[in-house]
Structure 1
């Protein structure tokens, strides 16, 4: 079935028909599995640089490599993960990937040199990308098309919660017991995820995934790595990821410079709370009113957050920036992911999701490099004000690559 046919089926739903359920046993299982995956990622990235410095007596910059090389491995793997998931099967890639992640998690306990640790981190990043792509593809296949945005927002909460729980638990374990107990705890988390993945049914797996062949030639190979239908909105999310990375990277330095450290300590609390609440509202609105009403409003709010940050003179303004960013970026991300998946047929969900996150990760990775040069020349405050203008301009980019499409102007669900 094509994406167009899928969309026609949903819009043809009679207004008297009950709305399909979002949650199912399988979706709940995959939600927990994805939470476990993200929990280990955020739990390790929080302490890995300090661990490398303490364990191997290296410089801070070298220790930072132990944290960032995971992302490098994951970004490279995104090029191949989606096609692999679509060809081999979502559930199979999920379980094999989890099994491999569990084996790699055990290697943290025996990595006795910095080169060994770097290899483990890079390999973990590669496996994380493939496994998380399979989990998200399984989830999308189980979310009703007419409630795609709402369901995507709910599923994305598995990552939102892990960003708060993972660092908190890892720091508590390290401070109380040391690094080895943390590695053992995360190994147990992987084992639990493996067991839960075995309970996920094969429902929704494309019947021909085992025999599907890549189209001949360079274009056929490229299509298994990057889906052309997702690239337009991927370009928009690359810009959004670059802008968001400026806050994550330079917030602490900026607030320390301005004497607003207390506000910075509450920034991500406000960010997480508003993001959590907005997921229960904006996804449903997107399904009923279309992509545009949600994305444009989130772009305006995100631009306002950057403008407020660039002019901040009190702690409350930093906290307010966190709340506005939680609504802005926290809404744009799942909204565009749902729009990207809606552009392809079900048997191409894997490559669509990997393309989306390849562009997002690319923006988050490149943003600090480019924006760091801008901050050196203009200062942090001016940089944030410039990025507020970039966000306003990004609305035009969104309109060009997606906003003018008919499906972006109308909802997927019929109001009952």
Structure 2
């Protein structure tokens, strides 16, 4: 089997992921503005739109993983593309809060199915010895879109209005669909179960959740609680600290650090295992949160972005790689769904908690306690996965030595 990483299919799935996530982050910041400015909605309704999208994506992922296992990866992938592309064009006709609410539900379903399918595809096409490196670059596509999406969305909305904004949004999905159709979806090595057989088998919780991936998924859930304070409230905190002018550069610095570090972190994972990557990344995440809590000027504010980017930006793909690696070959789709849904649940719950705490004690205190919480994650990681990973590597090393002897 070839050990080449940058194949046509890998490049296509990375481009597809970048474009679809670009659309996701683009709309994440512009839809609330569109609702309030164009449809005369309120902030409470805007929050409901965000929450419903997340809820739809989280819930459908569990079923999407099972559908991949039962009906085949290609069918689920194509269905997700149809839903996602259709939703992108339906925004032109969403002229009321109710219609927008229904559309965000549909779009969330398409997003949840698509991210599960692309995560499964990329897990299957990356060579076994380059999983950490391959998943790292794949996750980097999401990180870059996270920095560019809001910037492009706000620029389009402020300069040209909602009609052009939706046109650009639809264009990104059209191009993303084109790159997606260039992917040769890997055939499953297992026999696809018929719909009749699925119904006959009956429903079990383990059909929707990959148990082997739960421990590392819970690790991601723990850190996602902390990261939610960044993705949801760092701009609010910047305004509180009178750093509004540099707030837009936070995620730019975040992504630059990721781009510079990615060639090394992925390869180190493949050579030395998860512990060598996760432990320094957790410490970096905690340092970044502490620096952010103390930021009174632009330098410390942006320096914290570098540490947080290196920390969370490495924790996320590393944990996802572990979740996929430890799952049985025919359960990679369910493992991907389990991991992503658990992580998104952490971001959703964390956003709710941080919003309440921020109003009570201030975001500086939230970030300070978040740094302590992140540091405590070293123990969470050790007990849920770290010690298991270390034992497995020691056992593998002993087996190699015994074979040499």
* CA positional deviation for 1:261: 3.1
For these two proteins, the number of residue pairs brought into alignment is 396
CA gap of 1:216–1:375, structure 2 versus 1, over 3 A, is farther
* CA positional deviation for 1:408: 7.4
The answer to whether the aligner puts 1:327 opposite 2:310 as a matched pair is yes
CA gap of 1:295–1:269, structure 2 versus 1, over 3 A, is same
The answer to whether the aligner puts 1:224 opposite 2:207 as a matched pair is yes
The answer to whether the aligner puts 1:258 opposite 2:241 as a matched pair is yes
Give CA deviations for 1:382-410 in whole Å, capped at 9, x if unaligned.
Answer: 22222211111111111111101246774
* CA positional deviation for 1:256: 2.6
**Normalization by structure 1: what TM-score?**
0.88
Q: Name the structure 1 match of 2:41.
A: 58
Q: Choose which of 259, 272, 276 in structure 1 pairs with 2:259.
A: 276
Give CA deviations for 1:311-333 in whole Å, capped at 9, x if unaligned.
Answer: 22322111100000000000000
Matched ranges for 1:156-235 at <5 A: 156-211=139-194, 214=198, 221-235=204-218
Q: Choose which of 52, 57, 60 in structure 2 pairs with 1:77.
A: 60
How many angstroms apart in 1 are the aligned matches of 2:143 and 2:383?
A: 30
Q: Does the 8 Å CA contact 1:231/1:355 hold for their aligned counterparts?
A: yes
Give CA deviations for 1:75-99 in whole Å, capped at 9, x if unaligned.
Answer: 2212212111222222221122111
Q: Choose which of 221, 225, 228 in structure 2 pairs with 1:242.
A: 225
C-alpha RMSD over aligned residues: 2.5
Q: Name the structure 2 match of 1:398.
A: 381
* CA positional deviation for 1:201: 2.0
Gaps of 5+ in 2: 401-405
Q: Which moved more, 1:333-342 or 1:29-38?
A: 29-38
The answer to whether the aligner puts 1:39 opposite 2:22 as a matched pair is yes
Q: Name the structure 2 match of 1:300.
A: 283
**2:170 is paired with a residue of what secondary structure?**
helix
Q: Which moved more, 1:187-196 or 1:345-354?
A: 187-196
How many angstroms apart in 1 are the aligned matches of 2:276 and 2:200?
A: 40
Give CA deviations for 1:148-207 in whole Å, capped at 9, x if unaligned.
Answer: 111000111221221123223323333333222232333233333333333322434234
Q: Does the 8 Å CA contact 2:274/2:389 hold for their aligned counterparts?
A: no
Q: Name the structure 1 match of 2:403.
A: none
**Normalization by structure 2: what TM-score?**
0.91
Q: Name the structure 2 match of 1:351.
A: 334
* CA positional deviation for 1:32: 1.7
Q: Which moved more, 1:62-71 or 1:388-397?
A: 62-71
How many angstroms apart in 2 are the aligned matches of 1:312 and 1:188?
A: 38
Matched ranges for 1:10-29 at <5 A: 20-29=3-12
Q: Which moved more, 1:234-243 or 1:364-373?
A: 364-373
Q: Does the 8 Å CA contact 1:299/1:392 hold for their aligned counterparts?
A: yes
